[in-house]
Amino acid sequence: MAVFANGILFEGVDTSDPNCWKIEAYQARGGYQALKKILTEGISQDDVIAELKTSSLRGRGGAGFPTGLKWSFMPRSFPGDKYVVCNTDEGEPGTFKDRDILRFNPHALIEGMIIAGYAMGAARGYNYIHGEIFAEYERFEEALDEARRAGFLGQNILGSTFSYELFAHHGYGAYICGEETALLESLEGKKGQPRFKPPFPASFGLYGKPTTINNTETFASVPYIITQGGQKFLELGKPNNGGTKLFSVSGHVNRPGNYEIPLGTPFAELLEMAGGMRGGKKLKAVIPGGSSAPVLPGDIMMQCTMDYDSIAKAGSMLGSGAVIVMNEDVCMVRALERLAYFYHEESCGQCTPCREGTGWLYRVIHRILNGEGRPEDLELLDSVGNNMAGRTICALADAAVFPVRSFTKHFRHEFEHLIEHKTPLVNHKWC
Amino acid sequence: MLSAESLAKIDREVAKYPADQKRSATMSALRIAQQEKGWLATETIEFVANYLGIPPVAAYEVATFYNMYDLKPVGKHKLTVCTNLPCALSGGYDAADYLKQKLGIDFGETSADGRFTLVEGECMGACGDAPVMLLNNHSMCSFMTREAIDKKLAELE
């Protein structure tokens, strides 16, 4: 798989070197200098958070929430247990960037999480890792051991008064645990069912203590911001969209893989980097931010730049940066049916609108696909969706509804054709 | 009920959490038990619960919620094939169909000789390597073309 580095996370990382992830290699690339700078120069918690705010770093897990602001919500100067939690439960279809961070540069994440602990007054952190990437979980455990031996974790780090422990926890097959409060429940050894918010994790998180949860890529971006300055990070991207970002490109391209590029790069350039369309086929549609993001027709996508604001303006969201590319041979009813099945399968069952609604969506799309659709089915999908979105504890219901709304909006004629003629408009080929 | 080696592994997991939060180790303890036993029988789950000092139902709840725990015996090699959209666009269904044909079983079935169980999986977070297949829960097999499947199965003979 291709990893194209033109940013900060994989800068100087030779992914063909089997030892590129080790602490010696990381330190040779300037690793742990940010932590040393903070502890030896006595940079204050407030100054670390201020630097993050300057950087305009936004959460890389999907929501795009400003990281500096999130960190400032923690009661950092109050005594008592506080936790830093990393969300590496990467299961959003199309997303595979955090796996590569653990594979090739895990110490950037470890250093970022240590700095987070310092800035928020937490003495303990956990990284929750998707169960399916077990080899990466084991590698992360090895990297943690290296960091402990080097004195970057444990008591009185680098001779300072700051002490911090960090551990890895693995999931075991549940998409819902990528939702931050479900993740906390799972980390506590329970079913991963989301909690009501408020209270928010910053006041009532892991074991009921103040907790901040960030995505892997977010934490891993922090060391650069400390050593190079928030302003420099911001300038890598564009205003309100600081930095470079990893885009996971999958589907009908010649070179699927992770591409780290400045936010604001035109989609056309990203497609070109990924080798263009496989077999020279025509671009039909793109899901720009993971399966939960609304799909966009190819011609709209070709006008977009890859940043939070441009994609939002086009009616979708940048999400986790998972770009799923589809060519002209894809029947959009069939593509949507597969996604609807996923959400039905992964609904945790806690809220009735989601538990029942995801099944309704799947069954109705399934019958349309199989030539058994009824004239009222598109209205029915709308109605079911309206009874799901915004009516549940977490956003999984909304995530299930977004694709349905966007597929039936932009490719309505394919649904109508199937309902009317009982056969698909497109002679579907997956690949 | 579990070997000394497995218990030592569970102890290492328990040590990751605050002393009064042993329950947090439930997921890894069940995983370790499953690795030793091949699957999770009710008595195995109860043993894990008792070992951690939590109610059996709490461990059972976890074992039934997460889909990588096997609550029924599976073949010596469990093959989980991803057919989610990104994998499908790169041959996920072709890989699945080829495996079904080659092994003579459908999703959710185990071959008569007890060697293979085939499972349809959801996104494993490795879509850049599509199509992917997970071998025995922990080993990611990338780019599963027909040739790659033949090669992998030959290694498992």
Chain A interface disruption, residue of B127, B132, B142, most A CBs within 10 A: B127
Q: Are the Cβ atoms of A188 and B25 closer than 8 angstroms?
A: no
Is pLDDT of B85 > 70?
yes
Is pLDDT of B7 > 80?
yes
CB contacts, 8 Å: A250 with chain B: 86, 89-90, 127-128, 130
Structure tokens at A395: 């956003």
Euclidean distance between CA atoms A403 and A410, whole angstroms: 11
CB contacts, 8 Å: B91 with chain A: 430-431
Whole-model pTM: value is 0.96
Residue pair A253/A146 in contact by the 8 Å Cβ criterion? no
Listed as ranges, residues in chain A with pLDDT below 70 are 1-3, 5-6
CB contacts, 8 Å: B27 with chain A: 169-172, 186, 189
Of residues B17, B94, B127, nearest to A250 (C-beta): B127
Question: Which residues of B sit in the known binding site for [2Fe-2S] cluster?
Answer: 82, 87, 123, 127
Q: A with B: how many residue pairs have Cβ under 8 Å apart?
A: 168
Euclidean distance between CA atoms A10 and A1, whole angstroms: 14
Residue pair B81/B131 in contact by the 8 Å Cβ criterion? yes
Residue pair A388/A188 in contact by the 8 Å Cβ criterion? no
Task: Give CA separation, A106 vs A168, A211, A220, A337, in Å.
Answer: 12, 22, 8, 36
The pairing of strands A296-297 and B77-82 is: unpaired
Structure tokens at B90: 């790169």
**Dihedrals φ, ψ of A396, to 5°?**
-65, -40
Q: What is the pLDDT of residue A79?
A: 87
CA A138, distance to chain mean position in Å, is 21
DSSP secondary structure of A263-318: TTEEHHHHHHHTTSBGGGPPEEEEEBTBTTSPPEEHHHHTT-EESHHHHHHTTS--
Q: What is the pLDDT of residue A241?
A: 77
- Stated length of chain A: 431
Q: What is the pLDDT of residue A6?
A: 66
Q: What is the pLDDT of residue A2?
A: 56
Q: What is the pLDDT of residue A411?
A: 98
DSSP secondary structure of A60-73: TTTT--BHHHHHHT
**Dihedrals φ, ψ of A413, to 5°?**
-60, -30
Of residues B86, B122, B139, nearest to A250 (C-beta): B86
Q: What is the pLDDT of residue A423?
A: 96
Query: Which residue of chain A is at minimal alpha-carbon distance from B34?
Result: A172
Of residues A96, A134, A430, nearest to B127 (C-beta): A96
The predicted-structure confidence for B94-109, as pLDDT tens digits, reads as follows 999 999 999 999 999 9
Of residues B24, B30, B137, nearest to A187 (C-beta): B24
* Sole residue written with tokens 């970057």: A152
Q: What is the pLDDT of residue A7?
A: 74
Q: Note the helical H segments in chain B.
A: 4-14, 26-37, 42-52, 56-65, 85-88, 92-103, 146-155
Q: Are the Cβ atoms of A132 and B30 closer than 8 angstroms?
A: no
Q: Are the Cβ atoms of A94 and B85 closer than 8 angstroms?
A: yes
Of residues B23, B134, B138, nearest to A189 (C-beta): B23
Q: Are the Cβ atoms of A130 and B124 closer than 8 angstroms?
A: yes
Euclidean distance between CA atoms A417 and A373, whole angstroms: 10
User: Comparing C-alpha atoms, which of B58, B101, B61 is closest to residue B81?
Assistant: B101
Q: Are the Cβ atoms of B130 and A258 closer than 8 angstroms?
A: no
Coil, strand, or helix at residue B89?
coil
CB contacts, 8 Å: A342 with chain B: 84-85, 122-123
Chain A interface disruption, residue of B39, B69, B89, B145, most A CBs within 10 A: B89
Please name each of the domains of chain B with its CATH number. 4-65 (1.10.10.1590), 77-156 (3.40.30.10)
Chain A interface disruption, residue of B10, B27, B28, B146, most A CBs within 10 A: B27
Q: What is the pLDDT of residue A237?
A: 84
The predicted-structure confidence for B13-56, as pLDDT tens digits, reads as follows 999 999 999 999 999 999 999 999 999 999 999 999 999 999 99
- Secondary structure string (H, E, C) spanning A171-237: CCCCHHHHCHHHHHHHHCCCCCCCCCCCCCCCCCCHHHCCEEEEEHHHHHHHHHHHHHCHHHHHHHC
CB contacts, 8 Å: A345 with chain B: 122
H-helix or E-strand containing A134?
helix A134-149
The minimum CA-CA distance between B99 and chain A, rounded to whole Å, is: 17
Coil, strand, or helix at residue A241?
strand
The pairing of strands A244-251 and A257-262 is: antiparallel
Structure tokens at B96: 């699945």
Q: What is the pLDDT of residue A242?
A: 79
Q: Are the Cβ atoms of B129 and A1 closer than 8 angstroms?
A: yes
Euclidean distance between CA atoms A323 and A303, whole angstroms: 15
Q: Are the Cβ atoms of A95 and B58 closer than 8 angstroms?
A: no
The minimum CA-CA distance between A400 and chain B, rounded to whole Å, is: 14
Query: Which residue of chain A is at minimal alpha-carbon distance from B142?
Result: A1
